[in-house]
């Protein structure tokens, strides 16, 4: 068997780039690898075989300095994407153990990623209080008929609620024309109830009052107890489903922490987080939000891209940020993946954020400049932030609103969201990029 190794094996620092309002510094992790297996592999039988192979190689080894020992640290089983993360002294040691394993498709070096997020501006208690007083809800029911889950893209009239004096970004996605003088957020009264949004990020402050007990701790690559990280994931979660600042106000949230509290992560950890979601979520009732991205040139990132595609093939809708390099979104992962819904950012004047990525891989625009969301300083804190990281949770929230009305496959959901989007209202959109604004109701 010929084992294919992709990427350099030395520890190399790679130049910083801006992506999803994140500065990414990467370094290949010496002695840490990701192994991709053929999609027909029986995982249980394979790991028995792996143990037997290692035992034989150990027994035959004449070296006392470098024993051919490998340690499997993670297992991946996402539909057609099968594999594992492993620690070994070197790739030569790993190849020795795997030399007769026809199940192995390729080996990648694992990569360390350091994300440095755009700084949020915390709002004062007075600003939060004034905002809360202005924002109120008034129910305006259009139908009292009991709703049943259905596959039709155009449901019967559904009860809606109006949040008066809402944040501008919420009002924008519920109106066909820009109206910043009297912002009102009109949304389905069931608010995404029964749908869970999984936030693949650096954690969520699940105790924040704006989540009203709907946020749960799911999985962490790093910690055994809930940890809100840098606050990036909390901001994202608030926009998706916060009671005051969010789109889908009754959807559930689950924190899937793949970055630590300093913003550090690995490609193997990102795949592990996605694996956990697939093992615990239900297709058709789940939305996956990924507000982090990595240039497609990075070693190992193709495996994460493959894992995302496999998740979509299983029926999971994946929403991702376009990135903030003012560049082609197709050049990053997962924004360049044709199986996801990629969201770019606009400002309060319906112009694109100058930092937002663009191009044919963008599915749609959503508000992404000066967005107010929930923050980690206290259980009532809010902050203002910009970036496509915060545009995409608007779309994830809308996806939850739609899934609460009917059962859709990922591509049906993507197509319906494009169809319902507001066309040709945005200004100065780059060429080869759709002029389409997110809209939160079915027509």
d(CA 300, CA 306): 10
Q: Name 260's bridge partners.
A: none
**Is 148 designated active site?**
no
DSSP string computed for 352-367? B-TT--BSTT--EEEE
- Sign of the torsion formed by the C-alpha atoms of 292, 296, 297 and 301: positive
Q: Which of 109, 389, 394, 396 is catalytic?
A: 389
212 in the Ramachandran plot: left (φ > 0), alpha (ψ -120 to 50) or beta?
Answer: left
Q: Are strands 371-374 and 382-385 parallel, antiparallel or unpaired?
A: antiparallel
CB neighbours of 264 closer than 8 A, spacing ≥ 6?
112, 113, 114, 115
d(CA 436, CA 388): 15
Q: Which of 26, 232, 373, 394 is catalytic?
A: 232
Give yes or no for a contact between 204 and 256, defined as CB atoms under 8 angstroms apart. Answer: no
**Is 201 designated active site?**
yes
d(CA 15, CA 109): 18
d(CA 285, CA 74): 26
Q: Which of 110, 201, 324, 350 is catalytic?
A: 201
DSSP state of 147: P
**Is 264 designated active site?**
no
Phi, then psi, of 223 in degrees rounded to 5:
-125, 155
Which residues have a catalytic role annotated? 201, 232, 389
């Amino acid at each position: 068997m010929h084992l294919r190794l992709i990427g350099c094996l030395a520890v190399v620092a790679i130049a910083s780039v801006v992506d999803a309002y994140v500065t990414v510094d990467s370094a290949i992790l010496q002695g840490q690898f990701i192994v991709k297996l053929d999609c027909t592999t029986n995982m249980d039988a394979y790991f028995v075989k792996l143990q037997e192979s290692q035992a034989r190689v150990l027994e035959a080894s004449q070296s006392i300095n470098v024993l051919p020992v490998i340690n499997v640290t993670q297992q991946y089983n996402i539909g057609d994407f099968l594999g594992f993360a492993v620690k070994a002294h070197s790739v030569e040691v790993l190849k020795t153990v795997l030399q007769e394993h026809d199940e192995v498709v390729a080996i990648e070096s694992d990569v360390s990623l350091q994300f440095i997020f755009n700084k949020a501006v915390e709002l004062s208690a007075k600003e939060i209080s004034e905002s809360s007083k202005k924002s109120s809800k008034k129910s305006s029911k259009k139908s009292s008929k009991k709703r049943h889950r259905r596959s039709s893209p155009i449901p019967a009239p559904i009860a809606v609620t109006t949040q008066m004096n809402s944040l501008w970004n919420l009002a924008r996605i519920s109106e066909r024309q820009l109206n910043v003088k009297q912002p009102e957020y009109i949304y389905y009264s069931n608010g995404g109830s029964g749908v869970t949004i999984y936030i693949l990020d650096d954690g969520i402050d699940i105790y924040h009052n704006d989540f009203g007990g709907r946020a749960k701790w799911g999985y962490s690559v790093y910690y055994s107890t809930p940890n809100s990280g840098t606050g990036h994931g909390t901001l994202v979660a608030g926009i998706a489903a916060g009671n005051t600042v969010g789109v889908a106000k009754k959807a559930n949230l689950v924190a899937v922490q793949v970055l630590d509290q300093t913003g550090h992560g690995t490609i193997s950890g990102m795949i592990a987080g996605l694996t956990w979601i697939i093992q615990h979520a239900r297709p058709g009732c789940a939305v996956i939000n990924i507000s982090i991205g990595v240039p497609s040139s990075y070693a190992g990132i193709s495996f994460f891209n493959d894992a995302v595609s496999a998740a979509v093939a299983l029926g999971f809708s994946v929403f991702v940020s376009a990135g903030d390099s003012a560049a082609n979104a197709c050049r990053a992962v997962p924004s360049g993946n044709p199986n996801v819904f990629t969201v770019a950012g606009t400002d309060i004047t319906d112009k694109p954020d100058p930092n937002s990525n663009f191009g044919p891989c963008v599915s749609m625009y959503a508000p992404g400049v000066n967005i107010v969301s929930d923050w980690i300083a206290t259980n009532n804190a809010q902050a203002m932030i910009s970036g496509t990281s915060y545009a995409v949770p608007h779309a994830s929230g809308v996806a939850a609103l739609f899934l609460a009305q009917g059962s859709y496959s990922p591509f049906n959901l993507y197509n319906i969201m494009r169809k319902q989007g507001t066309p040709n209202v945005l200004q100065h959109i780059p060429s080869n990029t759709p002029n389409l604004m997110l809209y939160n109701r079915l027509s």
